Amino acid sequence: MTITYRSYLRLPELLDLQTPLSGVHDELLFVTIHQASELWMKLCLHELGEARRRIAADDLPPALKMMARVSRIQTQLIQSWEVLATMTPADYAAMRGSLGQSSGFQSDQYRCLEFIMGNRNAAMLALFVEEAVRARLTAELAVPSLYDEALRLLARRGLPVPAERIERDFAQIAPPSREVEACWAIVYGQPHDHWDLYELAEKLVDLEYHVQLWRFGHLKTVERVIGFKTGTGGTAGVPYLAKVVEQRFFPELLDVRTSL
């Protein structure tokens, strides 16, 4: 069988997946933006999972490339809010009833991204009823995050990372550590002696920076389209998203900028 562009990308199946329920013109926009975002998140998980494995294997150059790629993908995700923000309050109100109780809050891929980057909260598992989804997220909570592997690498390079940060319950968020911050201060203070670790630190900061821009874009888009209404998934909407923006993934990498 001849492989064509259409068959290779399975375009008939892909383009048949956008199935608005309300008949409202703008629902196709809403569905397309969210489906495309899930595809980008799938690629982010693919890249970050492999980057984590490379860091654990002391193979930094490809890991840095993969992390840089994710930052570019995040730019695409951020830009998608600009497109969705063309939906007016009246447009959204006309189709909102077709969403039922569904919400982006229930995106298991987004939750897995949060988990792999280190923002872990086992209570979030209760949101997901599908056994396969819960198993995947539970498995992610059991292994070191991307940041955990970065700290393990620092320890292997002889930096004094506290032992309790190397072996711990990875399902829990570790509180910010002055000792870890001091390790990053060594890397930033002597970059030519730790150049690949310095690059790793900056790639991690890039990831956090873009996640925060994505979160802020989400907040402002929701505020623009529905104001301060309760979200379809039962969250407080804008006030909830504002609290999410305050969450940090790699606190020591931000705190060290003050102490340098």
Q: Would you call 252 helix, strand, or coil by DSSP?
A: helix
Taking a C-beta distance cutoff of 8 angstroms, is the pair 260, 188 a contact? yes
83 is in an annotated binding site: no
Residue 218 labelled as part of a binding site: yes
| 232 annotated to bind ligand | yes
Annotated binding residue at 31?
yes
Tokens 């102490």 found at: 259
Residue 119 phi, psi dihedral angles, 5° rounding: -85, 90
- Cα 22 from Cα 103, distance rounded (Å): 16
Six-digit token string for 8: 């290779």
30 is in an annotated binding site: yes
> Does residue 19 have a known ligand-binding role?
no
To the question of whether residue 157 is assigned a binding role by annotation, the answer is: no
* Rounded Cα gap, residues 77 and 128, in angstroms: 23
Integer Cα distance of 52 and 200 in angstroms: 11
Amino acid type, 109? Q
Q: Is 33 within any annotated ligand binding site? A: yes
Measure the CA–CA gap between 175 and 173, rounded to whole angstroms: 6
Contacts of 132 (CB under 8 A, 6+ apart): none
Residues 74/207, Cβ–Cβ less than 8 Å: yes
Quick one: which of 193, 205, 107 has its CA closest to 147? 205
Asked whether residue 32 is marked as a ligand-binding residue, the answer is: yes
Binding residues, by number, are 30-34, 92, 96, 218, 232
Binding residues for heme, by number, are 218
Binding residues for substrate, by number, are 30-34, 92, 96, 232
